Amino acid sequence: MILATSPMVGSALEELGATHEVRIIPFRSEAWTAALPEARALLVLLSEPLTPEDLGRAPNLRAVATYSVGVNHLPLAECEARGIRVISTPGTLTDATADLALALLLALTRRLAEGEALVRSGHWKGWAPDQLLGMGLRGRTCGIFGAGAIGRAFATRAWALGMEVAFWDREGSGGTVDFGPSSGPRIPLDALLARSSVVSLHCPLTSDTRNLLDARRLRQMARGAVLINTARGGIVDEAAAIDLLHEGHLGGAGLDVYAGEPALDQRWLSAPRTVLLPHLGSATVETRSAMARQVCSGIREALGN
Ligand code: GLV
């Protein structure tokens, strides 16, 4: 039996149901817990953290699948120890997420939310030389955390805007990262923070990257630089980021993810120069349907039929 917690976009889960027993039961309900002993595969969302105890109740488990590329909510060590296959969606949401990071970058630097609110308020008095001036991007440096598929896809977009691109990732500094139309140097974290007008996060949340952008590192960012986060909230010390926005050190923050989402540090809501989205990185019909197909075929393969 495949124990899922919610339907997915498209028909992949129904098609899986034609050959396998699929039960859809809300996460952490009594019925879900009661069904664990029979489950051969679990399918959860990124907002549904599984624990080692859950695995302990599921002796027949062959696969744990998540409808996301991120796997930070899964008990990876226990899965490995028990030979349980972990299935996620690498590759499929690369462009959708990079597009959303670009949308956040432009919304923030061109002040789209403020402009839209002004028009909707009915108080717009017309074009003015200094109205809602933003930050031009050509020639500025875009510092990218993470040189994986999404980081490189975002680099192509920043490069297309005329930005210089530099990377930092766990491989350390040195060499260059090829992102298709061009390449950018891999440089030390301190240098990346000091040099960049835009810092965009594209690394997974792991024990190495949790709180990576703490108060000290946020302060190392160039004054007025903006932060884009479409990765995971836990990579940033949010309280420090909010303080630095109020101080004016941080020029802006475009966020799609939050440490305790969907609960938000309420201070985000009144923090200046922010664009706040509800975790939409992969939210296109095409991408969510493809993610569902990828997850379902991974489950089929893991169950061996
Ligand atoms: C989105 O954040 C994902 O991990 O798929």
Tens digit of pLDDT for each residue in 187-215?
A: 999 999 999 999 999 999 999 999 999 99
SS3 category, 15: helix
- For 216-252, the pLDDT digits (tens) are 999 999 999 999 999 999 999 999 999 999 999 999 9
Which has the closest alpha carbon to 89: 304, 289, 303, 301?
A: 289
**How would DSSP label each residue in 168-237?**
E-TT-SSSEEE-SS-EEEB--HHHHHHH-SEEEE-S---TTTTT-B-HHHHHHSPTT-EEEE-S-GGGB-
- Under 8 Å between Cβ of 199 and 228: yes
Ligand 1 pocket member 100 (CB < 6 A): no
**Atom of ligand 1 at shortest range from CA of 88:** 5
Q: Where in the sequence of the chain do the CATH 3.40.50.720 domains occur?
A: 2-92+284-303, 94-276
In whole angstroms, what is the distance from residue 291 CA to residue 299 CA?
12
Ligand 1 pocket member 233 (CB < 6 A): no
CATH number, span 2-92+284-303? 3.40.50.720
Ligand 1 pocket member 97 (CB < 6 A): no
In whole angstroms, what is the distance from residue 9 CA to residue 26 CA?
17
Q: Determine which residue's CA is closest to atom 1 belonging to ligand 1.
A: 68
Evaluate if pTM is beyond 0.95. yes
- pLDDT of 174 reads 86
Which one of 3.40.980.10, 3.40.50.720, 3.40.630.30, 3.30.930.10 gives the CATH number of domain 94-276?
Answer: 3.40.50.720
SS3 content of the chain, % helix, strand, coil (to 5): 40, 15, 45
Please say if the pLDDT value at position 278 is more than 70: yes
**Atom of ligand 1 at shortest range from CA of 256:** 2
